[in-house]
Chain A
Amino acid sequence: MKNYLDLIPISSKIHRRQTRMTRWCIVISVFLVAAVFGMADMFLQSQKNMAKMEDGAWHVMFRELDEEQTALLAVRPEVKTFARYAATNYKLDRDYKVEGVQTVLCGFDETFFAIYPGAALLDGSFPKEMGEALVSESMRVRLGLFVGDEVEVETPDGSLRFRVSGIVEDTAMMLQTDAFGVFMNTETYLSCFRDVTLQEDFVYYVEFVPRCRIQRAIRDICGQLHIPKEMVSENAKLMGTMMQSSDQYIWKLYLIALILAVLVAVAGMIEIWGSMNSSVAQRTEFFGMMRCLGATAKQVRHYVRMEAFYWCLKAIPLGLFASVVTVWGLCRMLQTLTPTWFSKMPGFGISLPGLVCGSLIGLVTVLAASRMPARKASEVSPLTAVSGNADTVFAAKRAAHTGRMHVETALGLHHASGSRKHLILLTSSFAFSIILFLGFGIGVDFMGHAIVTLRPYTPDVAIVSPDNSCAIPDSLYQDLRKNAHIKRIFGRSFSYDLPIRMCGENKTVMLLSYEDYQFGWAEEDLRQGDMESVRDGEGVLVVDKTGFEPEIGNEIELETKTGARKVRIAGILSHTPFDSGENVGTVICSEDLFLQITGETGYTILDIQLWDQSDSVVEEIRQMAGETYRFSDSRESNRETRAVYFTFSLFVYGFLAVVALIAVFNMINTIAMSVSARMRQYGAMRAIGTSVRQLQSMIAAETLTYLIGGLAEGFLFGLPLHYYLYRQAITERWGDAWSLPVWECLVIGAVMIISAVAAMTGPVRRIRDMSVVETISL
């Protein structure tokens, strides 16, 4: 030993058990902070990846540029990638067809593939020559095309022939609308379709160089090239994940994220602070002894701080390592579950912001948190070492109230509330778990509003009557039902613009038929009435909307081909997935009643959900349906929706789980430390006849005090925070009014209560197993 501070590692080794909990506390806090920040970082990275795959890697899109502006924009130093793009018949409302199938025609520069990583070239090469084109994969399959073949595109002005230079993936839109796609280079496109392309369909995509301040770059470009602001659109999702958005709402979300980040950091700080206090409190006699031996108050202060630093040397790397492993686990999970989206995500990526925040918060907190205990330790009188009354620095200032309750309960309460500072510190640390949980709970509401989820009735593929008539025969429905790969098939027949009389007024409705599955799914939207009688064909369902305020039992008179027919309103639905248009009502009936009313036996649409979603099965169904009907393939868009929802859920619930873990660890650690600090006292109590059961009650009373205080304080501050965040993130965007987050409160309340019960078991076992003689002779 060369210095009195060399005592630190020796003392730490000898008092390993006493200091273990504090060291663990630092590890856990650093882990939690680094894990939350790391997860947030990975979340942003994953969202950025998804945004690039879905909407492209472009940051800004310009419209209506002249040739000079285009040329100047392309060579600007802040522009990394520039691509011209134009499209015709994108909405499939014009007469451009290949082999009778509606076809989208696009022209773009080769750099477009760098901007749209989702549009992968499956075969061949980019069409560099005039008269060459890429075709979509479904077009290749259905027309049996190969690279080098020719395709003929029928246009309103005659037909055009293109040589196939390569094959590209279908977009979700093309699959859903059963359309073909023909893509050529910009020069070919302009020579063929310049005159028929709408002005707004010429766009110029720009991807800026990394670390570019995009908003400033946009201002500069618009100013210098005289481009009006209205001609500029941002890739909102991507810019949002890059924190470069100009959207006010996105900035509100950044603010919310900042508030939550600060809360996480503070939670970590409070936890470390509490445990350091307890750690010092347990060793008053030791510090008294140091003072006895001649250490100055300053030296004791320095000793405590250096000791904290010594703990950090091992605890911080351990916490960081645990957080990295957790984040790796999450990344691997994402890659395994949704390889399409996250294959490019680093499986063993390191989140630098997470690690930096974790280490900084760990180090700064430990050093800052050691100030108060260091001061306390330096104030310990040298007499303490010899007086025999050195159990705790949180010395009682007033006596416990033993008059009105059992002595063990009174002492338990007093242990918790004897020192106001101690009580506030511990209840605040519990309260923080609740505040964090309610804060992060906003993520669930946000997810519910921002992300469209797949409904139980969402089909994988659909067969649609091309002219919206009931042209699909029941025989096709019956044949498809026998297919073993089909999980569910359900059809709807539509009759549009049907005149009716309702409450003495003439109105127009859309009549459609449901079968058993659809009636079942509609149950949750049934506001009033009885579904059974509608299923049996004795009545109809009417959707409540402006101008159509139905009442149960009222009759509707429908004008059918066979004359007027009266039907009773048996149920009222709040809404349906089908929009009938303005001033047109929606009436739903059974298939039998639809047949009676309209005389139609066929379906307008057959929705199909699949067990096996492979291409071969879809092709088999397509073959069965034939070419007469439009075939809509929603598998890709469903996958996208699922992927978005899945990643969001994973992170939102991941955050909530980490926050709940904070609550559990904190509670267990706090109670364990509190009991450890009083172990000698408990030993003495056992010696003079206190039973284990009575000590258990004492610890239960203490735990309950912290719990009740924590719950009260947590909800007192957590609910207003939830209200504020809800207003910022939800109400302002979607208009939904705030309501008490009952489920979140119940879940975190239950977590806290279960943690409290779990937190008592370890200390009670220690008390039961302790040797009274050894404990009191310590």
Chain B
Amino acid sequence: MDIMEVNDLCKTYGKGEAKVEALKHVSFTLQKGEFAAVIGESGSGKSTLLNCIGALDEPTGGRILIDGQDLFAMTEEKRTIFRRRNIGFIFQSFHLIPELNVEQNIIFPLLLDYKKPDAGRVEEILDVLGLKERRSHLPGQLSGGQQQRVAIGRALITRPKLILADEPTGNLDRKNSQDVMELLTMASGQFQQTILMITHNPNLITSVDRVMQVSDGVLSNLGGHINEKLS
């Protein structure tokens, strides 16, 4: 079942001679529970692709459907609410809220929806992430790896249709990178989350189902399909 469909996506910056085509007619789909990685060199357009899919940036052309809904046919307010409920984000620099503790950071998307978090679900996530002991700690009191785990928890709490991870291990050492990848793989397998991850670390793509490459704004499929391990 396709959870995300990207059709003929284009993104252009600037005008005239300064015009840069960051994405050129990109099309692909992702199935439920699929863990895909996009690789590419710096400036190839991979982050632009992720930002467009996450509705953080508006494409110049094409369509993005998530769970059958056209992201850019919605008003800004509706798109924000849709993003909050259906797309989880994991950033390279974590972007946790320094004034909220671990547990509050994780349940933050639910609080924005004025929903009462399910205590069982919160416990489960804290347990999976290994943060039970640190639930009352502020981000400033955590290591980089722990902070990224909190960010993963925040992305998982709403059971979003899609998780977008932008270089999630970019700020972490090898051990923490490995832990994060294991968590993402588990989320994909255990919670049937669809994950699209951007990375330029070739070692990380061994854990994913499918790899795509962006080069000069053109996306090409490097192979793999759901539940097929490349390694």
Contacts and interface: CB of A to CB of B under 8 A. Distances in A.
A395 interface: yes
Interface in A393-411: 395-400, 402, 406-408, 411
Given A389-B139, A399-B136, A399-B138, A689 B109 contact: yes
Contacts of B77: 691-693
A387 B154 CA distance: 20
A389 to B, nearest CB: 6
Contact of B98 (A389, A406, A687, A693): A389
B95 A776 contact: yes
A691 B98 contact: no
A694 B95 contact: no
Contacts of A392: 98
Interface in A674-716: 680-681, 684-694
Nearest to A686: B80
Contact of B144 (A388, A395, A414, A690): A388
Interface in B199-228: none
B159 interface: no
Given A402-B104, A688-B84, A387 B144 contact: yes
Given A407-B111, A689-B85, A418 B80 contact: no
Interface in A660-684: 680-681, 684
Interface stretch (B25-33, B34-42, B51-59, B122-130): B51-59
Contacts of A688: 83-84, 88-89, 95, 108-109, 154
A407 B112 contact: yes
B108 to A, nearest CB: 7
A773 interface: yes
Nearest to B80: A691
B140 A388 contact: no
B54 A687 contact: yes
A693 B76 CA distance: 11
A400 B111 CA distance: 13
A389 B80 contact: no
B51 A773 contact: yes
Contacts of A686: 80
B56 A415 contact: no
B20 to A, nearest CB: 15
Interface in B133-192: 136, 138-140, 144, 147, 154, 171
Interface in A731-778: 771-773, 776
Q: For chain B, which range describes its interface: under 10, 10 to 19, 20 to 34, or 35 or more residues?
A: 35 or more
A482 B77 CA distance: 72
Given A402-B111, A688-B154, A692-B77, A772 B91 contact: no
A87 B191 CA distance: 109
B44 interface: no
Contacts of A694: 112
A389 B147 contact: yes
Given A391-B98, A694-B112, A689 B80 contact: yes
Most chain A beta-carbon contacts within 10 A, residue among B91, B98, B114: B98
A396 B95 contact: no
A694 B87 CA distance: 18
B73 interface: no
A414 B109 contact: no
B99 A414 contact: yes
Contacts of B98: 389, 391-392, 395-396, 681
Interface string B64-98: 00000000000011001101110111011111111
A391 B114 CA distance: 26
A670 B230 CA distance: 55
Contacts of B104: 399-400, 402, 407
Contacts of A685: 97
Interface string A530-547: 000000000000000000
A389 B98 CA distance: 8
27 contacts: A388-B147, A388-B171, A391-B98, A395-B140, A396-B138, A399-B138, A400-B100, A406-B111, A406-B114, A411-B99, A681-B95, A681-B98, A684-B95, A687-B54, A687-B89, A687-B95, A688-B84, A688-B88, A688-B95, A689-B80, A691-B77, A691-B112, A692-B76, A692-B77, A772-B57, A773-B56, A776-B95
Interface of B: 51, 54, 56-57, 76-77, 80-81, 83-85, 87-89, 91-101, 104, 108-109, 111-112, 114, 136, 138-140, 144, 147, 154, 171
**Closest A-B pairs by Cβ, 5 of them:** A689-B84, A684-B95, A407-B111, A388-B93, A399-B101
Given A388-B171, A399-B100, A399-B104, 15 more contacts: A388-B144, A389-B96, A389-B98, A392-B98, A395-B98, A396-B98, A400-B99, A402-B111, A406-B111, A681-B98, A684-B91, A687-B54, A687-B83, A691-B112, A773-B51
